[in-house]
Amino acid sequence: MVIFIHNNRGFSLVEYMIAIVILGIGLLALVGLQTTAIRGNFGSKCLTTAVLLAEKRMEEFKNTPFNSLTIGTFSDPNNPLNSSGQTGGIFSRTWAIQNYSGSTYMRQITVTISWMEAGRNRSIFYNTVISR
């Protein structure tokens, strides 16, 4: 009868290498998720800023007397805008004022905010109708 005595005190080099490969694959997946999260956060920040810029301009129109709402298409003189509406950002703000459904007693106002994000053009539109 032969008795084998095994000395199981530790890990072999192969087990270490397998563990390092598995850890490396996991870390690479986390780096990819982090990149996606950063890109998503930047996109959300841009969208929120664009909405705030459009709302700010729309509130100015709502506080403007009806007879001062000139029909036409206009561009913000401070373009490109930053998040506070001052010159020096990535946002472009334009607006169009026209008669609503042919009525001279109502104006349709459309505010458009445009910007470049990740090499693509993005834009939002805000519409409202103001009556005399």
Give me the pLDDT at residue 2, please: 61
Q: Taking residues 102-130, what's their average pLDDT?
A: 90
DSSP 3-state of 91:
strand
Give me the pLDDT at residue 114, please: 93
pLDDT tens profile 47-102: 999 999 999 999 999 888 988 888 899 998 888 888 878 888 889 999 999 988 87
Give me the pLDDT at residue 15, please: 84
Domain coordinates of the chain in residue numbers? 13-131
DSSP string, 35-77: HHHHHHHHHHHHHHHHHHHHHHHHHHHHTS-GGG---EEEE-T
Q: Taking residues 38-52, what's their average pLDDT?
A: 88
